[in-house]
Structure 1
Amino acid sequence: MNDNMEWSKAQPDPNHTGAEAKQNQAQNDLFAELSQYLKENNDPLQLKNQRRIPPLANWHPKQVGDIDIVIKANGEWWHDGRPILRQALVNLFATILLQETINGEIQYFLKTPAQKLRIEVEDAPLLIDSVAVAIEDEVAFLEFTTNTGDVVRLDHEHLICLKPFMAKGASSADIRPYMFIRDGLSALINRNTFYHLIDIGKLQEKNGQTVLVLQSGNQTFNIAMPIDS
């Protein structure tokens, strides 16, 4: 792994057993290989202007394992207990993010032609941090951008829904807004963006319930607001 990557490998711990040391070394090797693959196959400067999602469905890696990467509930990516500070690398990791349902449980992986590595996701795998009105052929669309570079417009393939989320240690669930992005992956809409969305739309009372009415691409979308909002 090159020196300018702003995270570090797990360091050997003299208190670890031989099995634990081998597991840490295997994890470090997998992470180094994944980082090298991304470096060779993606150009962060190019991705600033053009989003490129690899053909994950065409890849059938034989090596499957786990890696200590966590996508926090606030959208931060962590490795080995530390945040990954280079946003360009986080953006690249997001392009190879895969969701699968195994034995009824949703699991997330980073996938390359050679490896499929399971990671932990505390809430949604992606985070929307901005919304704007885009005009195309005199038609207004609501356009959402994630903090890792995905751009989608509100339509019937990219809907918004409200779902409960129970944070670790919390006594009750929060109702949070999510949006479908791609390939089964959803994104949490962060608080400031959702407030902006409320300003853009209209709140109406329908059948005794508050509904956020949004217009995008000459279509109307209704989002029922939680009672305590």
Structure 2
Amino acid sequence: MPYLPPPDIAGLSLAEVAELVAARKLPPVDQWEPQSSTDSLMVIKSDGRWFHDGGEIRRPAMVRAFASLLRRDADGQHWLVTPADKQSIAVEDAAFIATDVTRKDGALVFRLNTDDTVIAGPDHPLVVRGDADLPAVYLAVRHGTEARLNRSTWLQLVDLADAELAVTSLGLAFSLVPR
């Protein structure tokens, strides 16, 4: 079956976005505790490109499939997890890149480089790191993983911010200024 990219998030209502998020059936990697662990020989570069054993993975469907198996442990290590095995994966910055944002009915809706859609809020907070000269904004995605906002998405978010450079989503306020 060919992959059909999701519609533009700006043209959807919040209810339609929520339906898209709910319709995505992801493996329960948080419930799997395999005993075997190895190195996947994979790296996610800071620009969002995926590599295996030095070669770039260029098929978006493969990246989406691997991304659905990701989780990050309390020590910050990323893993590709199946019921039988977990494989470490090196991540230079964040596992995902947020490539677009729109405000819908009091919520901030983000599109990721894997075509995932994430609604910022209690389960998916925004976190700012860095300093005033070089801030970096991250969105919690799932299973401990994060998406770093790319420059254009960060600028979109700044346009949506109030005078104190804060945004709200699902009733929560998020500062865009590193503390």
Higher relative contact order (CA 8 A, sep 6+): 2
Counterpart in the other structure of 1:223: 175
Conserved? CA contact 1:44–1:88, under 8 Å:
no
Which residue number corresponds to residue 111 of structure 1? 81
> How far 1:63 moved relative to its partner?
2.7
Do residues 45 (structure 1) and 3 (structure 2) align? yes
The answer to whether the Cα contact below 8 Å between 1:214 and 1:221 also exists between their aligned partners in 2 is yes
Please name the residue that 2:154 is paired with.
194
Question: Any stretches of 5+ residues in structure 1 without a counterpart?
Answer: 1-42, 166-172, 205-210
For 1:127 and 1:140, locate their aligned partners in 2 and report how far apart those are by CA, in whole Å.
Answer: 22
Alpha-carbon distance, 1:98 to partner = 1.5
Structure 1 residues 86 and 113: CA distance shift in structure 2, 3 A: same
Residue 170 of structure 2 is aligned to residue 212 of structure 1: no
Q: Specify the code of the residue in structure 2 equivalent to 1:45.
A: Y
TM-score by length of 1: 0.63
> Pairwise mapping of residues 142-157 of structure 1 onto structure 2 (< 5 A)?
142-157=108-123
Structure whose alpha-carbon radius of gyration is higher: 1
CA distance in 2, matches of 1:114, 1:222: 39
1:98 is the counterpart of 2:71: yes
1:106 is paired with a residue of what secondary structure? coil
Q: What is the Cα deviation at residue 82 of structure 1? A: 1.9
Q: What are the Cα deviations for residues 15-48 of structure 1, in whole angstroms up to 9, with x where unaligned? A: xxxxxxxxxxxxxxxxxxxxxxxxxxxx773885
How far apart in 1 are the matches of 2:176 and 2:80? 34
Structure 2 residue aligned with 1:128: 98
Structure 1 position 200, deviation (Å): 1.9
CA RMSD of the aligned region, Å?
Answer: 2.5
Identify if the C-alpha distance between structure 1 residues 189 and 97 changes in structure 2 by more than 3 Å, giving closer, same or farther: same
1:176 pairs with 2:128 = no
1:164 deviates by 2.6
Where does the alignment leave 5 or more consecutive residues of structure 2 unmatched?
7-19
State whether residues 44 and 92 of structure 1, in contact with CA within 8 Å, keep that contact through their aligned partners in structure 2. no
Q: Provide the rounded CA distance (Å) in 2 between the counterparts of 1:220 and 1:59.
A: 31
The amino acid of 1:158's aligned partner reads H
Tell me which amino acid in the other structure corresponds to 1:118: S
Q: Could you list the per-position Cα deviations for residues 167-195 of structure 1 after superposition, in whole angstroms to 9, with x for gaps in the alignment? A: xxxxxx94311111112111101110010
Aligned in 2, Cα 1:153/1:46: closer, same or farther, shift over 3 Å? same
TM-score (norm 2): 0.79
Could you tell me whether the CA contact under 8 Å between 2:70 and 2:143 is conserved in 1? no
Which of structure 1's runs of 4+ aligned residues deviate more than 6 A?
Answer: none
